[in-house]
């Protein structure tokens, strides 16, 4: 069976992905001319499975090594994994022998994607970086590190500028190794429209967000069916704190003192208050979020101005010509009852976000609903676009 046939849902085929490349790269921006070998850590987990599905059809990256726990190491991938995707295991990796997550086993990888669980990600990613490997991680462990950028690829790829400072902490300084993290899935979805709004209308000073999150956000086996069928769980451990903190780092800038030391400013120029209420709902994929925002600017923009600004938003990852970037970052729905996770989570192969119900808020200024695919832009897709940007900006040495 050819790769194309093995993917009845084309989320992931190169043919489709390439369709999203809105424009040819700008002059001077070199696309890679030969395949870049990459590795996947935590390859048997749910995020790892998504990495593999996406990378198997990637125009630049070729899977070179798969890492998992010692229990899986040594087995062919198909035997080590409990595959849970709706597309078959890509034929290119079915028989790949899984390795242990040691830097030596991945030393030929120019990029290493990490879908590791937080309980092991810290130590392993640290070791990989120390071995001068470039790590793009979906794990939470280094998100709060003052030298590690926390990047939502449609928002703040400019934060890659902290990398040299991160490398300089080592002695001798690293030349290729670093860690880049992407954000929590529920943070990712809603900061994209928030960033678009700040670009158009200046700083936001307060946000209240209530999430209705899909079960896939909890991994596998994750949420027990007895807890979620015919139910809502109005609590996800640590989630509200992540949203409230990560939003500041992502939407904030980087300041530089007289000695040239860079610091994430946490949105300090206009202090931003964020209040999150997180809920788990019986939805498989796709986080729906109800957002109310208050702008610093008086009078605030009208709902129509907000709609137009969101629809017009073009992230740098798109301008650069990243192959996995969505062609349209934000679709703005006019129908009153959209976005809905089941109907809208596949928008732009899950790399874009859907916004709807933009209207006035009686308490803040504007309220709207945002839907983001937590297993795509909310996880593996983010890491991959981050890596693509890093390649185009020559942050990754290949």
Q: What residues numbered 39-78 form the site for its own copies, per CB under 8 A?
A: none
Question: From the list 87, 137, 188, 318, which residue makes contact with its own copies (rule: CB under 8 A)?
Answer: 87
Nearer to its own copies, 40 or 371 (CB): 371
Contact status: 268 vs its own copies (CB under 8 A): no
3-state secondary structure (DSSP) of residue 95: coil
Annotated catalytic residue within 159, 195, 287, 328? 287
Radius of gyration over alpha carbons of the chain, in Å? 20
Site of tokens 């006035």: 360
Question: From the list 71, 107, 222, 265, which residue makes contact with its own copies (rule: CB under 8 A)?
Answer: 222
Residues 152 to 181: which contact its own copies by CB under 8 A?
none
Question: From the list 45, 315, 356, 378, which residue makes contact with its own copies (rule: CB under 8 A)?
Answer: 356
In the complex, minimum distance from the CB of residue 274 to its own copies, in angstroms, rounded to a whole number: 6
- Give the pair of three-digit tokens for residue 156: 């703040």
Provide the 10 A C-beta neighbour count for residue 219. Answer: 13
Contact status: 347 vs its own copies (CB under 8 A): yes
Contact status: 251 vs its own copies (CB under 8 A): no
- CA–CA separation, 284 vs 154, rounded Å? 24
If binding means CB under 8 A, how many residues of this protein chain bind its own copies? 78
Annotated catalytic residue within 101, 185, 278, 322? 185
In the complex, minimum distance from the CB of residue 287 to its own copies, in angstroms, rounded to a whole number: 10
Contact status: 102 vs its own copies (CB under 8 A): no
DSSP state, residue 296:
S
Nearer to its own copies, 149 or 339 (CB): 339
- Give the pair of three-digit tokens for residue 213: 């999150």
Nearer to its own copies, 36 or 351 (CB): 351
Contact status: 36 vs its own copies (CB under 8 A): no
Contact status: 297 vs its own copies (CB under 8 A): no
> Cα-flanking dihedrals φ and ψ of residue 14, to 5°?
-60, -40
Contact status: 79 vs its own copies (CB under 8 A): no
Contact status: 184 vs its own copies (CB under 8 A): no
Residues 362 to 391: which contact its own copies by CB under 8 A?
362-364, 367, 369
Question: From the list 94, 144, 176, 327, which residue makes contact with its own copies (rule: CB under 8 A)?
Answer: 327
Question: From the list 119, 230, 258, 334, which residue makes contact with its own copies (rule: CB under 8 A)?
Answer: 230
Going by C-alpha positions, the residue among 232, 227, 191 that lies closest to residue 213 is 232
Site of tokens 């590690």: 148
Piece of the chain touching its own copies by CB under 8 A; list 100-108, 139-147, 202-210, 316-324: 202-210
Contact status: 92 vs its own copies (CB under 8 A): no
Binding mask 7-26 for its own copies (x = CB under 8 A): xxxxx-x-xx--xx------
287 catalytic, yes or no? yes
Contact status: 261 vs its own copies (CB under 8 A): no
Burial class (CB in 10 A: 0-12, 13-18, 19+), 374: buried
Alpha-carbon distances of 97 from 84, 91, 120, 288, rounded to whole Å: 19, 13, 21, 38
185 catalytic, yes or no? yes
- Residue pair 209/290 in contact by the 8 Å Cβ criterion: yes
- CA–CA separation, 381 vs 374, rounded Å? 9
Provide the 10 A C-beta neighbour count for residue 362. Answer: 7
Contact status: 282 vs its own copies (CB under 8 A): yes
Nearer to its own copies, 72 or 216 (CB): 216
- CA–CA separation, 79 vs 69, rounded Å? 13
- CA–CA separation, 396 vs 386, rounded Å? 11
Alpha helices in 82-130 (DSSP H): 91-94, 118-130
Strand (E) or helix (H) holding 177: none
Contact status: 340 vs its own copies (CB under 8 A): yes
3-state secondary structure (DSSP) of residue 59: coil
In the complex, minimum distance from the CB of residue 357 to its own copies, in angstroms, rounded to a whole number: 6
Catalytic residues: 185, 287
């Amino acid at each position: 069976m050819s790769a194309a046939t093995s993917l009845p849902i084309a989320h992931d085929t190169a043919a489709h992905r390439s369709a999203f490349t809105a424009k040819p790269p700008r002059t001077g921006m070199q696309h890679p001319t030969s395949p870049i070998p990459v590795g996947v850590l935590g390859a048997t987990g749910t995020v790892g499975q998504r990495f593999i599905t996406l990378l198997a059809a990637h125009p630049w990256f070729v899977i070179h090594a798969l890492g998992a726990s010692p229990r899986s190491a040594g087995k062919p991938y198909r035997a080590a994994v409990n595959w849970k995707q709706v597309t078959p295991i890509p034929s290119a990796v079915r028989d790949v022998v899984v390795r242990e997550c040691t830097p030596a086993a991945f030393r030929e990888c120019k990029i290493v994607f990490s879908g590791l669980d937080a309980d092991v990600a810290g130590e392993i990613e640290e070791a990989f970086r120390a071995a001068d490997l470039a790590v793009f991680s979906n794990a939470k462990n280094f998100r709060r590190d003052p030298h590690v950028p926390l990047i939502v690829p449609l928002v703040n790829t400019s934060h890659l500028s902290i990398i040299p400072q991160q490398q300089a902490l080592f002695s001798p300084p690293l030349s290729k190794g670093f860690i880049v993290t992407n954000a929590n899935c529920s943070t990712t979805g809603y900061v994209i429209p928030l960033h678009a709004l700040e670009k158009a209308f200046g700083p936001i000073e307060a946000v209240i967000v209530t999430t209705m999150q899909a079960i896939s956000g909890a991994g596998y086996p994750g949420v027990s069916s007895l807890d979620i069928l015919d139910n809502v769980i109005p609590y996800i451990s640590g989630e509200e704190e992540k949203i409230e903190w990560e939003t500041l780092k992502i939407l904030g800038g980087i300041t530089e003192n007289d000695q040239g030391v860079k610091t994430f400013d946490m949105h300090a120029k206009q202090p931003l208050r964020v209040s999150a209420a997180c809920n788990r709902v019986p939805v498989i994929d796709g986080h729906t979020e109800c957002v109310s925002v208050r702008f610093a600017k008086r009078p605030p923009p009208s709902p129509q101005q907000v709609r137009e600004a969101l629809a017009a938003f073009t992230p740098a990852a798109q301008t650069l010509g990243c192959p996995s970037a969505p062609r349209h970052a934000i679709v703005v729905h006019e129908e009153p009852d959209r976005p809905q996770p089941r109907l809208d989570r596949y928008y732009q192969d899950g790399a874009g976000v859907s916004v709807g119900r933009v209207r006035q808020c009686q308490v803040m200024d504007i309220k709207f609903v945002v839907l983001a695919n937590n297993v795509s832009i909310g996880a593996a897709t983010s890491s991959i676009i981050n890596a693509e940007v890093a390649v185009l900006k020559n942050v990754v040495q290949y």
